[in-house]
Amino acid sequence: MTLRRQLRVLRHRAGRWAGGRRWLASISLLAAMGVTAALLVLVVSENTVNATGAPAKAAAPSTAKKGTAPKSGVKTTTPTTKPVGQTVPLGVYAGPGAPVAATAFSADAGAPVPYAFDYIDGSTWQSISDPMWFVQRWSGSNFRMIWGVPMLPATGATLAAGSSGAYDAYFSQLAYTFVQNGQASSVIMLGWDPEDTALPWAATSTAAAAEYVSYWRQIVTSMRSVPGEQFQFAWDSAAGSDPVLPPALYPGNGYVDIVATDAFDVGTPVTSSGWGAYAAEPYGPDWFSSFANSHQKQLMIAKWGLAPRGALGGGDNPTYVSQFLRWADGRHLFAAITWDYGSWAVTGGSFPKAAAELHTVAEAGAVVPIAKVVDSSDSR
């Protein structure tokens, strides 16, 4: 229930008691004023963010065809903030070190957003193991953080060396930094998109896939060894191609808590045939959803959103938004992280119809199941 609606209900209840019981009306009005003040304090405190820091490198979404990646091995830790709807918790990537922009997205979406996503700078081992600029930026923002953690720096390191334990100390230091700075319950999205040849940890051969899996396990073991950690590890993948397909890259149930993938409105299957055809593709979102279920893991859409037509996307496509949310509503996702940055930002102004659809569904979804809201929206 929104703050405005809560105030309206309080006023109505106070007025209803007024007839014939004026002394009770006075007490009710005073109580309503007290509740209102408490609500205002809560709203202000939940939207307070730390806006200090230095510039950081921004990441851009890949235009490669993506599938929904399932993650295995869920820990007992659970989100501390309730979902925006009843079954689709929203998150946001609003740019590097951007808690104010993430909070603005929550307002634009018309509902609370419990998760924020950010990429750690992967330029060097120093920037990976000691990401204090990012940690300080998000400190006090009230988001539960999902961190994109590089497995290797831009140059000078290999999967093979990592699988031997050569880099364990860097990730122990990273875990210690998180624990000591209020990020002990973060979600760690480690080595995302291993099928992407542009990334240092790309695994496009059978041997590289084996090294990727072994190295992933080394990192998780190192980070879990730090006292006080409560991390959840998200494995993010996509369709890939022979000879390396997603099952070959899965690190195993004991090392994965959440399965994740992307779902952008980009490529012919989505823009011409719609969400259903895209989701049903080999190693598409439907496959990853089934994979996650079979491994008893929660599914996360690590990044979802719209792409400009110049990037082979559907542009301002409210139908994609409604179809995606209907699909997500039945999958009991861990989170759906909305890309809201740069020219691909859902609420940034380039896609006003899609932004309005998101607001309609998200705001109403806090009261009724999202699928019902989407059905009503589609019938207009």
pLDDT digits (tens, 9 = 90+) for 304-324: 999 999 998 999 999 999 999
Tell me what the pLDDT averaged over the chain comes to.
Answer: 80
Mean pLDDT, residues 291-313: 95
The residue extents of the domains of the chain are 3-41, 58-378
The per-residue pLDDT for range 332-343, each reduced to its tens digit, is: 899 999 999 999
Task: Write down the CATH superfamily of domain 58-378.
Answer: Glycosidases (3.20.20.80)
Contacts of 190 (CB under 8 A, 6+ apart): 149, 151, 216, 219, 220, 233, 234, 235
Spatial separation of the C-alpha atoms in residues 234 and 248, rounded to whole Å: 16
Q: Does residue 299 have a pLDDT over 70?
A: yes
Establish whether the linkage from the previous residue to 243 is cis, with ω within 30° of 0: yes
Beta strands in the chain (DSSP E): 90-93, 115-119, 144-149, 187-190, 232-236, 258-265, 298-306, 335-339
Q: Residue 351: pLDDT band by 50, 70, 90 thresholds?
A: very high
Pairing relation of β-strands 90-93 and 115-119?
parallel
The gap from C-alpha 28 to its chain's centroid, in whole angstroms, comes to: 41
The per-residue pLDDT for range 166-197, each reduced to its tens digit, is: 999 999 999 999 999 999 999 999 999 999 99
Beta bridge partners of 92: 116, 338
Establish whether the linkage from the previous residue to 194 is cis, with ω within 30° of 0: no
Q: Report helix, strand or coil for 26.
A: helix
The per-residue pLDDT for range 4-41, each reduced to its tens digit, is: 333 333 334 333 333 443 433 343 434 444 434 443 33
Q: Residue 369: pLDDT band by 50, 70, 90 thresholds?
A: low
Q: Residue 44 has what pLDDT?
A: 35
Tally Cβ neighbours within 10 Å of residue 2.
12
Q: Which residue has the higher pLDDT, 75 or 296?
A: 296
Q: Residue 366 has what pLDDT?
A: 53
Question: How much is the pTM?
Answer: 0.77
